């Protein structure tokens, strides 16, 4: 079945460490996104990528980095510069902009819960 | 910037009854999409229903329907014949139709409890 796989589901980090969250999709989608979810708040966009080897900052990109070397993969690194990284992280994808109405629909992964110890 | 407001942090409904979740949004655009996403305890976000702003007819998907009031910038979700499996967080979201970047905005969510 096509979908988005995020790993690990749970991750613990010590302060000062960088960690990388994996996101893989087999939907042949061009666009991929990373969102952060905190209690009582909606999803906030961290980074997005419309095409391989290109990505853009979202609303809360500080302390995060991404890469998009393959269409299927969009890993997110939470760096030590992120002051409050404990949160639930969601990866999403969509067909590319300009490819019809489906471009506006996001398909989500199951998420990764990051806790800083 | 566009904002999405869900004024009901929590709602509850009796099984088999009907419940309506509220959502308002602020935009100066005329062409956009509105969405309701469901996040069950598994935390997987699932698309419930989508509405295109240029369509006057309200979208429906089985037991789920919306009341889209463009002038009032209101987009409520009605769940009929509520089932235990409907218990979840529900997020309202907005996105411009023509978008060269990602501008999907989410509300803070409404937690729906279904009582047996």
pLDDT at A104: 73
Is the pLDDT at A25 greater than 90? The verdict is yes
% of chain A exceeding 70 in pLDDT? 93
Q: Do A42 and B108 touch (CB under 8 A)?
A: yes
Chain-centroid distance of CA A55 in Å reads: 11
pLDDT in tens, A65-98: 999 999 999 999 999 888 899 999 999 998 876 6
Closest of B109, B110, B103 to residue B27, by C-alpha: B103
pLDDT in tens, B67-87: 999 999 999 999 999 999 999
Which residues of chain A lie closer than 8 angstroms to B4, CB-CB? 42
A60 touches B at CB < 8 Å? no
Mean of all residue pLDDT scores within chain A: 91
> Stretch A38-64: mean pLDDT, rounded?
92
Q: From the list A58, A90, A97, which residue is nearest B45 (CB)?
A: A90
Is the pLDDT at A53 greater than 60? The verdict is yes
pLDDT at A99: 61
Mean of all residue pLDDT scores within chain B: 92
Helix (H/G/I), strand (E/B), else coil: B86 = helix
Low-confidence ranges of chain B (pLDDT < 70): 1-2, 98-102
Helix (H/G/I), strand (E/B), else coil: A103 = helix
DSSP, res B85: G
Phi-psi group of B96: left, alpha or beta (phi > 0 → left; psi -120 to 50 → alpha; rest → beta): beta
B16 touches A at CB < 8 Å? no
Q: Do A111 and B107 touch (CB under 8 A)?
A: no
B99 touches A at CB < 8 Å? yes
pLDDT at B1: 60
Q: Which residue has the higher pLDDT, A103 or B54?
A: B54
Is the pLDDT at A101 greater than 90? The verdict is no
Closest of B110, B112, B102 to residue B2, by C-alpha: B102
Which residues of chain A lie closer than 8 angstroms to B100, CB-CB? 97
Q: What are the backbone angles phi and psi of residue A104, rounded to the nearest 5°? A: -90, -5
């Amino acid at each position: 079945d096509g979908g988005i796989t995020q790993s690990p589901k749970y991750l613990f980090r010590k302060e000062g460490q960088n960690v990388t969250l994996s996101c893989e999709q087999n939907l042949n989608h061009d666009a991929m996104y990373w969102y952060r979810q905190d209690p009582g708040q909606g999803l906030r966009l961290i980074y997005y990528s419309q095409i391989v080897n290109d990505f853009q900052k979202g609303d809360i990109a500080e302390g995060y980095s991404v890469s998009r070397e393959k269409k299927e993969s969009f890993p997110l690194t939470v760096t030590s510069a992120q002051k409050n990284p404990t949160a639930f992280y969601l990866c999403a994808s969509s067909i590319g902009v300009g490819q019809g109405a489906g471009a506006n629909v996001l398909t989500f992964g199951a998420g990764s819960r990051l806790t800083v110890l | 910037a566009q904002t999405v407001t869900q004024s009901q942090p929590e709602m509850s409904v009796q099984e088999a009854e009907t419940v309506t979740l509220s959502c308002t949004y602020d935009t100066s655009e005329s062409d956009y999409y509105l969405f309701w996403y469901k996040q069950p305890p598994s935390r997987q976000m699932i698309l419930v229903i989508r509405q295109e702003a240029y369509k006057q007819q309200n979208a429906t998907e089985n037991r789920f329907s919306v009341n889209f009031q463009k002038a009032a910038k209101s987009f409520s979700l009605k769940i009929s014949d509520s089932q235990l499996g409907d218990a979840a967080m529900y997020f309202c979201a907005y996105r411009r139709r023509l978008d060269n970047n990602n501008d999907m905005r989410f509300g803070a969510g409404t937690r729906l409890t279904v009582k047996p």
